[in-house]
Chains A and B, each alone.
Chain A
Amino acid sequence: MNLLEILSYGFIQRALLAGTLIALLCSVLGVFLVLRRLSLIGDGLAHVTFGSTAIALALKFYSVMSLLVTMPIVLLASLGILKLTEKGRLSGDAAIGLVSALGISAGIILASVGGGYNVDLLSYLFGNILSIRSEEVVIAALLCLGVMLMLTLYYHELFAISFSDELAKVSGIHTSFINALLVLLTALSVVLAMKLVGIMLISSLLIVPAAGALQLARGFKVCIMLAAVQGCSSVLIGIIVSIMANLPASATIVLVNLLFFAAACTIRRFIYPAHSN
């Protein structure tokens, strides 16, 4: 199958479009999360999404309708992580681990009670971007638009809290609100990204583009742009390679992402040898 033939299929066009939008969101948010040392929040929220998807399936909410159950639960969980970090005498990673454990254990019990694991639930473990439906693409586009709008409007506040919470507060920025906004936008993106790469690999979509961009970027805006380019390119290349080589799309996307990261590290050693160690 050649490239033009691949691109002529509707399901592949939908996968490429939705995948690019989701990758754009995840890679831009990833820069803020990595710099705020909240890299693993994607993993934690993905596990909560697994649990909430089990609830949705138990309640007979399938496909797009399952978002009506998963979205509010994952949004609440993201705020829960934030509150545990702020008030619960827990570090960010411990709070994420706690909420993550709750999500995955609830999911396993519900799946078990509901008659064992079914195909719908398993597809959330490994993702299945090629099965994405038109309505899911529309939802991804609308959410992408909303999240990108918020990121644009609050860019400087997000930049300021990533640099220093303390200095941001003394600049009159409502850091609690901006922190909450960041984790809520992440929660929305994680729910969307589940379809793309699944629970097992979701954090790579948030972390790896940011980590790659941090190797080369000379400036905060440049870092965000590089992360977006790496994230989107990985999805486009990953989906096409997976079809041509008959490989799972999710794992291929992540491996391409990691190759970009390795390339960025190598380039850094040549361009900035003094700062490479």
Chain B
Amino acid sequence: MSSEIVATESLSCSYREGRVLEDISFQVERGDYVGIVGPNGSGKSTLIKALLGLVSIGTGSARLFGTPLSGFRDWHKVGYLPQSLHLVNPVFPATVHETVGLGLLSLKCFPKRLNRDDTAKIDIVLDELGISDLKYKLIGELSGGQLQRVLLARAIVNNPELLVLDEPTAALDPETRGRFYTMIADINRTRGVTVLLVTHDSGAIGEHASKMLYLDKKLLFFGSFDQFCCSAEMSSLFGEHSQHLMCHRH
């Protein structure tokens, strides 16, 4: 079994305003926990969206699980967690149970139907994330932290091999944020799930990431966390937080 999970070759993306990503090439292996960092507007979210087929790739290519993106059909292998506040309509009438169930659709053929086994899977993941008591709550009634865990449950209920997270804790308080990142690290370690995490949270990266991808429209660094700690890029990105970042690891 190939260990390549995500790969890009000379990938470039443009919006109307101009080029957002230029000549990005890297490869993520099975089990990696990759922290994607860079200044605001550096193209981090665009890179994630390009890898998931949510924005068009200008030139170059991307592969998921060794398959070119245009031909990729195994979406059940992928879990995706965007910034929740941008995502959820507060009047949307779905319960937590129904919302998590959406994560199972990638496993289903037409006509998609959820059965008792699926209900059991939803109950198990809700239990694992400690949110069983929210099962029948409407998503509009949840706090930011609860909503984030529900969306994480939706992303992992199908047992994905790759978990992609785009600034998932932007709206959370520091304590909830810490718990959330510990949860992601557990999923990475215990299930062997490959993690791609876009974040500004140096603490989370320092504590958990095995690799770093530093981006500012171009790829400035891709390698192990330890290499990144010794590089000039870390100081330029994190400045005074550099020490803090390293302290988490050592």
Contacts and interface: CB of A to CB of B under 8 A. Distances in A.
Nearest to B52: A170
Contact of A153 (B89, B110, B141): B110
Contact of A164 (B76, B87, B105, B140): B87
A219 interface: yes
A218 B98 CA distance: 11
Interface residues of A, number: 29
Given A166-B82, A170-B75, A170-B78, A219 B93 contact: yes
B1 interface: no
Given A170-B78, A171-B105, A220 B98 contact: yes
Interface residues of B, number: 34
**Chain A interface mostly:** helix
Contacts of B141: 275
Contact of B105 (A153, A160, A214): A160
Interface string A248-277: 000000000000000000000000000100
Contacts of B87: 164, 166-167
Contacts of B224: none
Interface in B47-102: 52-54, 73, 75-76, 78, 80, 82, 87-89, 91-95, 98-99, 102
A214 B91 contact: yes
Given A219-B95, A223-B93, A171 B54 contact: no
Contact of B94 (A154, A168, A173, A219): A219
A71 interface: no
Contacts of B89: 35
Nearest to A222: B93
B15 interface: no
A35 B92 contact: yes
Contacts of A217: 93
Contacts of B99: 163
B80 A163 contact: no
Interface in B131-145: 136, 138, 140-141
Nearest to B99: A163
Interface in A56-111: none
B210 interface: no
A166 B54 contact: yes
Given A35-B92, A153-B111, A218 B136 contact: yes
A157 interface: yes
A154 B73 CA distance: 19
Contacts of B73: 172
Contacts of B98: 159, 219-221
A164 B81 CA distance: 12
- Among the interface residues A35, A171, A217, A275, which one has the most CB atoms of the partner chain B within 10 A? A171
A168 B75 CA distance: 10
A183 to B, nearest CB: 19
Nearest to A31: B93
Nearest to B151: A167
Contacts of B102: 156, 159-160, 163, 167-168, 171
Contacts of A154: 111
Interface in B94-142: 94-95, 98-99, 102-103, 105-106, 108, 110-114, 136, 138, 140-141
A35 to B, nearest CB: 6
Nearest to A164: B87
Interface string A139-182: 00000000000001110110110111011111111000000000
Contacts of A214: 91, 93
A156 B54 contact: no
A156 B112 contact: yes
A-B pairs with the 5 shortest C-beta distances? A172-B75, A223-B93, A156-B112, A170-B80, A171-B106
Interface of B: 52-54, 73, 75-76, 78, 80, 82, 87-89, 91-95, 98-99, 102-103, 105-106, 108, 110-114, 136, 138, 140-141, 154
27 contacts: A152-B111, A153-B110, A160-B102, A160-B105, A163-B94, A164-B87, A166-B54, A167-B80, A167-B82, A167-B102, A168-B102, A169-B53, A170-B53, A171-B105, A172-B105, A172-B106, A214-B91, A214-B93, A217-B93, A218-B95, A218-B138, A219-B94, A219-B136, A220-B93, A220-B94, A220-B95, A223-B93
